[in-house]
Structure formats: structure tokens, C-alpha cells
Amino acid sequence: MKKPLSERFSKGLKQWLAVLPFLAVGMTLFIVFVLYPQIKNIYIALTNYSIMPGSENTFVGISNFAKMFKDISTKGSDAYFFWIAFRNNILAVLVTVPGQLVLGLIVAVLIHNLKTGKNVYKVLLYIAVICDWVVFCNIIDYIFQPDEGSLVNYCLTTIGILKEPVAWLKNTWTGNFVIWICSIWKGYGWVMIIYTAGLLGIPSDQYEAATMDGANAVQKFFHVTLPGLRGTTLYLLINLINGAMNIFIQVFLLTKGDPLGTTDVVMDYIYRRAFNYFDFGYAAACGIVMGIVVFVISMGLKKFLRYGENL
């Protein structure tokens, strides 16, 4: 028998009152730390924003956005340096994301197949991930010093690959190379941990069936392991791409965008425009464009990989 409306309403109200405190906490945090900053960022991007007390924030429309597309080919223009930084972000995605995925997957598979000592190797390889960025970048900076006594220059000159020491952090492409190496080294341990968890979710009977069918180790890897890690790989891809598009601290600590902004990335460029030149409106506009790009890439990748599952 159907309960009266008043009784159902009373029961529903009690349930809502029970969960309301939990919803309120989550909504409050979302509004304060996500929604409000986003709205404020859009407002800053549409104005000639100033942090000086008593200054007037004039509405300028899309002029801050237009600034990113004006005089792109002119060296020294704001747009030129923005798109140089954006290029470096794209290159970081193309180099560091596959590098971390491949290296992390190989290490995860090797550790997964060990009989003993798995946790020891996980801890040793995960140290770089939990190491403080400042300490880690100081180590990288020391290894790639421009003098002959640095580790990399000494090794490469000793075996004859280099004739003279290289100023790794003072040149455009060698500087970018060091940043990519730094990112891969710092991040592949996290990828390894995620992949080792994913490997535990692959049923052992699939490997047993492959063995009965005469598959060797390589065939098992490509036909059992990789398909079983599709969901894990999607999760890692989205997170690694977001991370590569938001590279900041390694550039800030290692090259500072030198020489002449050619190793800069968008996040570092935004930081310098905002806090060195106090051009907050333009910096906010750059941040919005970067956010849109990351969102489109993530959604496109997610849709593409899900489409591949249905083929």
C-alpha cells in the first residue's frame, strides 16, 4: 500500500537533512576554491586589472585575448613569447608523456614479475616522486653544470661524444631537453605505481589461456597486458597531459625561460606577466586559453579512446 504524501515528504526531508551537512561542506569548498576563482579570473581577463589600492579596473572586453594573436611573427612581442611558451608545452607533452608511460610501464612489468623484493624496488624508484622539487631541481642543475667537471659533461667528454663542455641550461634545445629529462625522471615512478596496481587487476586465467595457446612473453604483453591496462592508460594519459601542459617549477628553477624566453612554458610566462610586469588582465586571459586547450585535449582523448574500445 502506498504511503501518504505527508509521510513520504517527512521521510525525504529527514534524509535530506541527514546528508545536507556533508553536501554543504563540499559545496562550500567548491564555491570558495573553484567556482569563485574561475569567475574572478574571467573578470580579471576582461579588465585592465590592477592590485593597487584605489585603482580603477577598466573593462577592456576581449583586448587581452586579442593581444595573444597580435604580431605573432614579430620577435619580442607579447604574442610571440606566448606562442613560444605554448610550443614548448606541446613539445613537453609529445616527449614527456610517452617517456613516462613507456618507462613506467616497463618498470612496472619487470617489478610485477619478480618473485621477491617488489616493495623494495617500488620504494627506491618512487623516491624521486616524493622528493621536494627544489632539492630535485638543484640535483639536476648540479648534474648539468656547464663546466667540464659536471657529471654529464665529464662522462660525455671522457667517452668522446662531446669535444668540449656544453652549457646545457643556457641554450634553447639543450635547456628544453634537460627540462624534459627532469620531468620524466620525476614522474615515471608515479606511473610505475599506477601501472603495478593495474596489473593486479588483470585476471591470471587470461595469461594461462594465452600460455595454452602457445603465446610467448612478447605476445602476452601485447595481447593480454596492454588491453587489460586500457583504462589505466586512459587515466594516466589525461593526468600526464594535464601535468605537461602545466609545467612550471622545473622551468622556474632551472632555466627561468632563458635564453630570451625560448625555454619558457605558459605557466611560467603567465607568472612573469602577472608578478613581474603586473599585467594581470593579460595573464588571466592566457590562463583561460590554456585551460580551454587542456580541457579540449582531455575530452578529445577520452572520447577517442572510448571510441577505440567499441571497435
22 pLDDT tier (thresholds 50, 70, 90): confident
Residue 59 β-bridge partners:
47
Count how many residues are written for the chain.
311
CB atoms within 10 A of CB 105: 25
Check pLDDT > 70 for residue 306: no
Between 310 and 40, the higher pLDDT residue? 40
Between 309 and 178, the higher pLDDT residue? 178
pLDDT value of position 309: 55
pLDDT value of position 198: 93
pLDDT tens digits for range 264-282:
999 999 999 999 989 999 9
Three-state SS sequence of the chain: CCCCHHHHHHHHHHHHHHHHHHHHHHHHHHHHHHHHHHHHHHHHHCEECCCCCCCCCEECCCHHHHHHHCCCCCCCCHHHHHHHHHHHHHHHHHHHHHHHHHHHHHHHHHHHCCCCCHHHHHHHHHHHHHCCHHHHHHHHHHHCCCCCCCHHHHHHHHCCCCCCCCCHHHCHHHHHHHHHHHHHHHHHHHHHHHHHHHHHCCCHHHHHHHHHCCCCHHHHHHHHHHHHCHHHHHHHHHHHHHHHHCCCHHHHHHCCCCCCCCCCCHHHHHHHHHHCCCCHHHHHHHHHHHHHHHHHHHHHHHHHHHHHHCC
pTM of the model: 0.86
Q: Which amino acid is at 145?
A: Q
Cβ–Cβ < 8 Å for 244, 183:
yes
What is the set of domains in the chain, with CATH numbers?
1-40 (no CATH), 84-309 (1.10.3720.10)
Check pLDDT > 90 for residue 147: no
Task: Look at the block and give the residue holding cell 591496462.
Answer: 229
96 pLDDT tier (thresholds 50, 70, 90): very high
Angle of helix 118-130 relative to helix 172-200, nearest 10 degrees, comes to: 140
Closest CA to 251 of 68, 96, 73: 96
149 pLDDT tier (thresholds 50, 70, 90): confident
Q: Across all residues in the chain, what is the average pLDDT?
A: 89
Three-state SS sequence of 31-49: HHHHHHHHHHHHHHHCEEC
Pairwise CA distance, residues 5 & 274, whole Å? 58
pLDDT tens digits for range 26-57:
899 999 998 999 999 999 999 999 888 777 88
pLDDT value of position 311: 47
